[in-house]
Amino acid sequence: MIHLAYARQLKSIYPHVRLGVLVGRNRDIFAQSPLFDELVDDSFASYWRNRKKWQLMLDLCETFNTPNLIADAVLAPEAVMIFSKQNKKHYNLDNISNYDFRCPFNPDSHVIEHLRTSKFAEYFDIPQVKPELSVSQSEIDKIMAFWQPDTAASNSTIKILVAPQGSFKAGKYIPEEELAALLNQCNKEYLQYVRFIMCRTTNSEAYFNRLKSLCNSNVAISLSPPTRLGQYLALAASADIVIGVDSGTVHLACALKKPLLSFYANHNLHLWHPLPHDGVPHLMVVAPSEDKNSKETRNFPLEQAADWLNTQIKAHLA
Protein backbone atom coordinates (compact mmCIF):
# COMPACT_ATOMS: atom_id res chain seq x y z
CA MET A 1 0.00 0.00 0.00
CA ILE A 2 2.81 2.40 0.81
CA HIS A 3 4.07 2.13 -2.78
CA LEU A 4 0.86 3.89 -3.84
CA ALA A 5 1.99 6.94 -1.88
CA TYR A 6 5.51 6.80 -3.31
CA ALA A 7 4.04 6.62 -6.81
CA ARG A 8 1.89 9.69 -6.21
CA GLN A 9 4.91 11.59 -4.89
CA LEU A 10 7.01 10.66 -7.93
CA LYS A 11 4.24 11.63 -10.34
CA SER A 12 3.92 14.99 -8.59
CA ILE A 13 7.59 15.90 -9.13
CA TYR A 14 7.92 14.16 -12.52
CA PRO A 15 4.45 14.47 -14.13
CA HIS A 16 5.53 12.62 -17.28
CA VAL A 17 7.54 9.87 -15.59
CA ARG A 18 6.84 6.29 -16.62
CA LEU A 19 6.47 4.20 -13.48
CA GLY A 20 6.83 0.45 -13.24
CA VAL A 21 6.52 -1.76 -10.19
CA LEU A 22 7.66 -5.31 -9.50
CA VAL A 23 4.61 -7.42 -8.72
CA GLY A 24 3.93 -10.89 -7.42
CA ARG A 25 0.84 -11.86 -5.46
CA ASN A 26 0.18 -8.14 -4.95
CA ARG A 27 -0.46 -7.56 -8.67
CA ASP A 28 -4.18 -6.81 -8.21
CA ILE A 29 -3.43 -3.93 -5.84
CA PHE A 30 -1.28 -2.07 -8.33
CA ALA A 31 -3.53 -3.01 -11.25
CA GLN A 32 -6.27 -0.96 -9.56
CA SER A 33 -4.11 2.17 -9.52
CA PRO A 34 -3.75 4.54 -12.50
CA LEU A 35 -0.37 5.68 -11.16
CA PHE A 36 1.58 2.73 -12.54
CA ASP A 37 2.29 2.50 -16.25
CA GLU A 38 3.69 -1.01 -16.21
CA LEU A 39 3.48 -4.04 -13.92
CA VAL A 40 6.70 -6.05 -14.08
CA ASP A 41 6.18 -9.66 -13.00
CA ASP A 42 8.56 -10.93 -10.36
CA SER A 43 10.15 -13.57 -12.61
CA PHE A 44 13.43 -14.04 -14.43
CA ALA A 45 11.75 -13.94 -17.86
CA SER A 46 10.08 -10.63 -17.01
CA TYR A 47 13.35 -9.21 -15.69
CA TRP A 48 15.05 -10.13 -18.96
CA ARG A 49 12.34 -8.51 -21.07
CA ASN A 50 12.85 -5.33 -19.05
CA ARG A 51 16.64 -5.46 -19.08
CA LYS A 52 18.20 -2.00 -19.47
CA LYS A 53 14.79 -0.40 -20.09
CA TRP A 54 14.60 1.61 -16.86
CA GLN A 55 16.60 4.65 -15.82
CA LEU A 56 16.24 4.32 -12.04
CA MET A 57 15.28 1.52 -9.70
CA LEU A 58 14.17 2.24 -6.13
CA ASP A 59 15.12 -0.70 -3.91
CA LEU A 60 12.94 -0.24 -0.83
CA CYS A 61 13.67 -3.63 0.75
CA GLU A 62 15.06 -3.42 4.27
CA THR A 63 17.80 -6.02 3.65
CA PHE A 64 19.87 -7.35 0.78
CA ASN A 65 18.75 -10.80 -0.33
CA THR A 66 19.60 -13.13 -3.19
CA PRO A 67 16.35 -12.74 -5.20
CA ASN A 68 16.61 -8.94 -5.14
CA LEU A 69 20.29 -8.96 -6.06
CA ILE A 70 19.50 -11.19 -9.03
CA ALA A 71 16.62 -8.94 -10.07
CA ASP A 72 18.84 -5.85 -9.90
CA ALA A 73 21.56 -7.53 -11.95
CA VAL A 74 19.24 -8.80 -14.68
CA LEU A 75 17.12 -5.65 -14.92
CA ALA A 76 20.32 -3.59 -15.09
CA PRO A 77 18.75 -0.12 -14.72
CA GLU A 78 20.94 2.92 -15.31
CA ALA A 79 21.01 3.61 -11.56
CA VAL A 80 19.83 2.02 -8.30
CA MET A 81 18.75 3.90 -5.18
CA ILE A 82 18.65 2.06 -1.86
CA PHE A 83 17.42 3.27 1.49
CA SER A 84 18.23 1.78 4.92
CA LYS A 85 19.57 -1.77 4.82
CA GLN A 86 19.93 -4.00 7.85
CA ASN A 87 23.01 -6.20 7.92
CA LYS A 88 22.58 -9.93 7.33
CA LYS A 89 25.05 -12.76 7.81
CA HIS A 90 26.27 -12.84 4.22
CA TYR A 91 24.98 -9.54 2.79
CA ASN A 92 25.72 -6.10 4.17
CA LEU A 93 26.87 -2.65 3.11
CA ASP A 94 30.51 -3.71 3.44
CA ASN A 95 30.34 -6.38 0.77
CA ILE A 96 27.46 -5.24 -1.49
CA SER A 97 27.90 -2.23 -3.77
CA ASN A 98 25.24 -2.69 -6.44
CA TYR A 99 23.75 0.76 -5.85
CA ASP A 100 24.43 4.33 -6.97
CA PHE A 101 22.56 6.26 -4.27
CA ARG A 102 22.12 5.35 -0.60
CA CYS A 103 19.47 7.32 1.27
CA PRO A 104 19.16 6.12 4.89
CA PHE A 105 15.83 7.16 6.32
CA ASN A 106 15.09 8.57 9.74
CA PRO A 107 14.47 5.50 11.96
CA ASP A 108 11.93 7.50 13.97
CA SER A 109 9.80 8.41 10.94
CA HIS A 110 6.93 6.57 9.31
CA VAL A 111 7.84 4.49 6.25
CA ILE A 112 5.76 6.86 4.12
CA GLU A 113 8.45 9.51 4.66
CA HIS A 114 11.24 7.62 2.85
CA LEU A 115 11.22 9.69 -0.35
CA ARG A 116 11.07 12.91 1.65
CA THR A 117 14.53 12.10 3.09
CA SER A 118 15.98 10.76 -0.16
CA LYS A 119 18.14 12.29 -2.89
CA PHE A 120 14.94 13.54 -4.53
CA ALA A 121 14.35 15.88 -1.58
CA GLU A 122 17.58 17.74 -2.36
CA TYR A 123 16.03 18.97 -5.60
CA PHE A 124 12.26 18.86 -5.08
CA ASP A 125 9.68 19.68 -2.45
CA ILE A 126 8.25 16.18 -1.93
CA PRO A 127 4.55 16.43 -1.00
CA GLN A 128 3.08 14.64 1.99
CA VAL A 129 0.56 12.16 0.65
CA LYS A 130 -1.26 9.06 1.82
CA PRO A 131 -2.02 5.87 -0.10
CA GLU A 132 -5.28 5.97 -2.05
CA LEU A 133 -7.08 3.12 -3.77
CA SER A 134 -10.49 2.65 -5.35
CA VAL A 135 -12.31 -0.46 -6.58
CA SER A 136 -14.87 -0.37 -9.36
CA GLN A 137 -18.53 -0.78 -8.46
CA SER A 138 -18.77 -3.73 -10.84
CA GLU A 139 -16.11 -5.60 -8.84
CA ILE A 140 -17.84 -4.72 -5.57
CA ASP A 141 -21.18 -5.97 -6.91
CA LYS A 142 -19.63 -9.39 -7.58
CA ILE A 143 -18.88 -10.03 -3.91
CA MET A 144 -21.99 -8.53 -2.29
CA ALA A 145 -23.45 -11.99 -1.82
CA PHE A 146 -20.66 -12.67 0.69
CA TRP A 147 -22.65 -10.55 3.14
CA GLN A 148 -25.40 -13.22 3.12
CA PRO A 149 -28.40 -13.36 0.73
CA ASP A 150 -30.76 -11.48 3.02
CA THR A 151 -28.46 -8.47 3.13
CA ALA A 152 -26.95 -8.40 -0.34
CA ALA A 153 -29.56 -5.99 -1.66
CA SER A 154 -30.16 -4.09 1.55
CA ASN A 155 -28.82 -0.55 1.78
CA SER A 156 -29.87 -0.32 5.42
CA THR A 157 -27.45 -3.01 6.59
CA ILE A 158 -24.14 -1.97 8.16
CA LYS A 159 -21.38 -4.17 6.76
CA ILE A 160 -18.33 -4.58 8.99
CA LEU A 161 -15.19 -6.40 7.86
CA VAL A 162 -13.23 -7.97 10.70
CA ALA A 163 -9.55 -8.85 10.20
CA PRO A 164 -8.35 -10.07 13.61
CA GLN A 165 -5.39 -12.11 12.33
CA GLY A 166 -2.24 -10.49 10.97
CA SER A 167 1.13 -12.07 10.33
CA PHE A 168 0.92 -15.73 11.36
CA LYS A 169 4.68 -15.96 11.93
CA ALA A 170 4.72 -12.81 14.07
CA GLY A 171 1.76 -14.04 16.12
CA LYS A 172 -0.27 -10.89 15.51
CA TYR A 173 -3.92 -11.47 16.35
CA ILE A 174 -6.67 -10.17 18.58
CA PRO A 175 -7.46 -12.90 21.13
CA GLU A 176 -10.84 -14.46 20.37
CA GLU A 177 -12.24 -13.65 23.79
CA GLU A 178 -11.28 -9.98 23.45
CA LEU A 179 -12.80 -9.59 20.00
CA ALA A 180 -15.96 -11.35 21.16
CA ALA A 181 -16.13 -9.03 24.17
CA LEU A 182 -15.93 -6.05 21.81
CA LEU A 183 -18.65 -7.32 19.46
CA ASN A 184 -20.88 -8.27 22.38
CA GLN A 185 -20.77 -4.64 23.55
CA CYS A 186 -22.46 -3.43 20.37
CA ASN A 187 -25.79 -1.77 21.11
CA LYS A 188 -28.50 -4.44 20.94
CA GLU A 189 -30.79 -2.05 19.09
CA TYR A 190 -28.19 -1.70 16.34
CA LEU A 191 -27.19 -5.34 15.94
CA GLN A 192 -30.26 -6.29 13.93
CA TYR A 193 -28.89 -4.03 11.19
CA VAL A 194 -25.26 -5.16 11.40
CA ARG A 195 -23.47 -7.97 9.57
CA PHE A 196 -19.86 -8.91 10.32
CA ILE A 197 -17.58 -10.85 7.99
CA MET A 198 -14.27 -12.18 9.26
CA CYS A 199 -11.59 -12.43 6.60
CA ARG A 200 -10.16 -15.86 5.91
CA THR A 201 -6.45 -16.48 6.41
CA THR A 202 -4.10 -19.03 7.99
CA ASN A 203 -5.83 -21.02 10.75
CA SER A 204 -8.92 -18.84 10.36
CA GLU A 205 -11.46 -21.65 10.72
CA ALA A 206 -10.29 -22.64 14.19
CA TYR A 207 -10.15 -18.99 15.24
CA PHE A 208 -13.59 -18.27 13.81
CA ASN A 209 -15.23 -21.28 15.46
CA ARG A 210 -13.97 -20.21 18.88
CA LEU A 211 -14.92 -16.58 18.23
CA LYS A 212 -18.42 -17.57 17.15
CA SER A 213 -18.89 -19.66 20.29
CA LEU A 214 -18.00 -16.64 22.46
CA CYS A 215 -20.26 -14.14 20.67
CA ASN A 216 -23.83 -13.50 21.73
CA SER A 217 -26.47 -15.07 19.52
CA ASN A 218 -27.51 -11.67 18.14
CA VAL A 219 -24.03 -11.01 16.68
CA ALA A 220 -24.41 -11.98 13.02
CA ILE A 221 -20.91 -12.96 11.95
CA SER A 222 -19.70 -15.27 9.21
CA LEU A 223 -16.36 -16.40 7.83
CA SER A 224 -15.49 -15.14 4.37
CA PRO A 225 -15.25 -17.72 1.61
CA PRO A 226 -11.75 -18.22 0.18
CA THR A 227 -10.94 -15.16 -1.93
CA ARG A 228 -8.41 -14.11 -4.49
CA LEU A 229 -6.68 -10.82 -3.76
CA GLY A 230 -8.88 -8.93 -6.22
CA GLN A 231 -11.98 -10.25 -4.47
CA TYR A 232 -10.58 -9.30 -1.08
CA LEU A 233 -9.96 -5.75 -2.26
CA ALA A 234 -13.59 -5.60 -3.38
CA LEU A 235 -14.77 -7.08 -0.07
CA ALA A 236 -12.91 -4.40 1.87
CA ALA A 237 -14.26 -1.73 -0.47
CA SER A 238 -17.82 -2.98 0.12
CA ALA A 239 -17.53 -2.67 3.91
CA ASP A 240 -18.86 0.33 5.82
CA ILE A 241 -16.44 -0.15 8.73
CA VAL A 242 -13.24 -2.16 9.14
CA ILE A 243 -11.89 -3.70 12.35
CA GLY A 244 -8.34 -5.01 12.10
CA VAL A 245 -5.17 -5.95 13.88
CA ASP A 246 -1.84 -4.59 12.61
CA SER A 247 -1.80 -6.00 9.07
CA GLY A 248 -2.17 -5.17 5.41
CA THR A 249 -5.92 -4.87 5.89
CA VAL A 250 -5.42 -1.85 8.16
CA HIS A 251 -3.49 -0.02 5.44
CA LEU A 252 -5.96 -1.17 2.80
CA ALA A 253 -8.83 0.29 4.84
CA CYS A 254 -6.98 3.60 5.09
CA ALA A 255 -6.30 3.67 1.35
CA LEU A 256 -9.99 2.96 0.68
CA LYS A 257 -10.96 5.71 3.16
CA LYS A 258 -12.97 3.40 5.40
CA PRO A 259 -13.72 4.11 9.06
CA LEU A 260 -11.17 1.97 10.89
CA LEU A 261 -10.81 0.48 14.35
CA SER A 262 -7.23 -0.80 14.53
CA PHE A 263 -5.39 -2.85 17.17
CA TYR A 264 -1.63 -2.63 17.61
CA ALA A 265 1.13 -3.91 19.83
CA ASN A 266 3.27 -1.27 21.50
CA HIS A 267 5.97 -1.89 18.90
CA ASN A 268 7.25 0.18 15.97
CA LEU A 269 4.15 2.38 16.05
CA HIS A 270 6.13 5.28 14.60
CA LEU A 271 7.01 3.19 11.54
CA TRP A 272 3.75 1.46 10.71
CA HIS A 273 0.84 3.25 12.38
CA PRO A 274 -2.30 3.64 10.22
CA LEU A 275 -2.58 6.61 7.87
CA PRO A 276 -6.27 7.55 7.81
CA HIS A 277 -7.33 10.31 5.44
CA ASP A 278 -8.56 13.60 6.85
CA GLY A 279 -12.17 13.40 7.96
CA VAL A 280 -12.27 9.58 8.02
CA PRO A 281 -12.99 8.21 11.52
CA HIS A 282 -10.23 6.11 13.04
CA LEU A 283 -9.31 4.81 16.47
CA MET A 284 -6.05 2.99 17.18
CA VAL A 285 -6.11 0.78 20.27
CA VAL A 286 -2.68 -0.12 21.65
CA ALA A 287 -1.98 -3.10 23.88
CA PRO A 288 -0.70 -1.90 27.27
CA SER A 289 2.96 -2.63 27.87
CA GLU A 290 5.80 -0.95 29.73
CA ASP A 291 8.13 -2.34 27.07
CA LYS A 292 7.81 -0.21 23.94
CA ASN A 293 9.26 -3.08 21.92
CA SER A 294 6.59 -5.53 23.03
CA LYS A 295 5.01 -7.43 20.16
CA GLU A 296 2.12 -8.74 22.24
CA THR A 297 -1.36 -8.05 20.90
CA ARG A 298 -3.53 -8.81 23.90
CA ASN A 299 -5.20 -7.26 26.93
CA PHE A 300 -6.54 -4.42 24.81
CA PRO A 301 -8.59 -1.71 26.57
CA LEU A 302 -12.01 -2.21 25.00
CA GLU A 303 -14.27 0.42 26.56
CA GLN A 304 -13.23 3.24 24.24
CA ALA A 305 -13.17 0.83 21.29
CA ALA A 306 -16.75 -0.26 21.97
CA ASP A 307 -17.91 3.35 22.28
CA TRP A 308 -16.20 4.23 19.00
CA LEU A 309 -17.76 1.26 17.20
CA ASN A 310 -21.25 2.04 18.46
CA THR A 311 -20.83 5.67 17.42
CA GLN A 312 -19.85 4.64 13.90
CA ILE A 313 -22.73 2.18 13.57
CA LYS A 314 -25.17 4.82 14.78
CA ALA A 315 -23.78 7.32 12.27
CA HIS A 316 -24.28 4.88 9.40
CA LEU A 317 -27.84 4.16 10.50
CA ALA A 318 -28.75 7.84 10.67
Per-residue pLDDT at 149: 54
| Residues β-bridged to residue 233 | none
Distances 52 to 72, 73, 74, 84, 153 between C-alpha atoms, Å: 10, 10, 8, 25, 51
Distance CA 117, CA 2 (A): 15
The pTM of this model reads 0.92
Same fold, 2-122 and 141-317: yes
pLDDT in tens, the chain (318 residues): 899 999 999 999 999 999 999 999 999 999 999 999 999 999 999 999 999 999 999 999 888 889 889 999 999 999 999 998 888 878 888 888 889 999 998 888 999 999 999 999 999 999 999 999 999 999 999 999 999 755 444 455 899 999 999 876 677 899 999 999 999 999 999 999 999 999 998 789 999 999 999 999 999 999 999 999 999 999 999 999 999 999 999 999 999 999 999 999 998 888 889 999 999 999 999 999 877 767 889 999 999 999 999 999 999 998
Distances 143 to 42, 66, 165, 205 between C-alpha atoms, Å: 28, 39, 21, 20
Collapsing DSSP to helix, strand or coil, 61 comes out as: coil
In the chain, where the domains are located? 2-122, 141-317
Per-residue pLDDT at 92: 83
Which CATH class, in words, describes the domain spanning 141-317? Answer: alpha beta
Q: Does domain 2-122 have CATH number 3.40.50?
A: yes
